[in-house]
Structure 1
């Protein structure tokens, strides 16, 4: 282990070096949670879901062991800073840089959904950015689409300011729920503030349920696209893949073959 680089409610993340000399991120359960079967089950579910996803815009799972004395997972180390920290320190993203960030994050989310996985906690704190290249991290509460619901009605799981209204109401997560969080995260990147305001959890959830989002200051293609992702009805939201295509057309960013991607 080289250094501690993150700490959550149940685990610690260390920067480490693997046998090939590569920097990796090691997420280890804290001792008190390692002693609980539920903590190990959650870590095993995180491994199983993240292992299914392949995208340059999603942190890759490399290894792990949930049966040993100190349960851990090894992930690709993603250099950069959390999106929320960057916006707080340097202000909102603008212009072509913002469009590239939005499209690449949509591509990462589309790859998650293509793998049959729901992330359930896309938020500025779970997007690491280097330049305008994002990487989606933290699959701690992710699960497979169609999996049994693991939270109770009235229990808010995820980052409240970026949760979809249906999750606040206790409905099952869907790909459309992740799309709502994607749109809310990009709104923060574009304006420097959460789209449903700050303050109490109750007030934030009330504004989300009422659809009272603040997108003032957003111009260009995202001014038209983000309201589609923030629609109250999940069935009316386009898919992450659709947004990636629409943003490719808007930005003119080519795919790996050099062709401009269409929706």
Structure 2
């Protein structure tokens, strides 16, 4: 055992002890920055987990905050394959900083694998109450436009989320996927007069993009219709211009 190990200077325990410095919002920033650098020089997964905690705080000035978070991104990325497990765990369990976790994983894994992890996380979160909806929205935006047969079934339950922003993100993701089981839930959203107008408009856009007909809901869809959309003779939502 080396003298630094004896003093707790380089092992996993040392990494965990640095967490308080990494998440210290006030005081001399050099102390926090030194801790980040020390963690980046360690070579075990516990150091990655502590580095990621820096994403849970915001410091002033914002330029310093951004610089430090970018530095953490580079430090974690340098761990290579050893970073994948702790970053994946962070993505699953942490409510904030989802975009940073996805960005790191994109730097370490093929896009299809990151999409799979995003879908797994969406499935796990489905139906859970969350005070902050940022994580759900970021994940929904991430899978939008991507091709994976598991995306649509994972996104569909989010049409019933209480948050309008989550509904909007789910509608945007579902439209181009043309997922038949989504047709009636989208129509129900559109027909619900208590739903925010912007959500109804997004539902019209999703129906237009998916090419689904409005059978069984024509009258209610006509009541909810707004420019630039209109309903044609075949019961399909069209867009002017």
Q: What TM-score comes out, normalization by structure 2 length?
A: 0.27
Higher RCO (CA < 8 A, seq sep 6+): 1
Q: What TM-score comes out, normalization by structure 1 length?
A: 0.25
Higher helix proportion (structure 1 or 2): 2
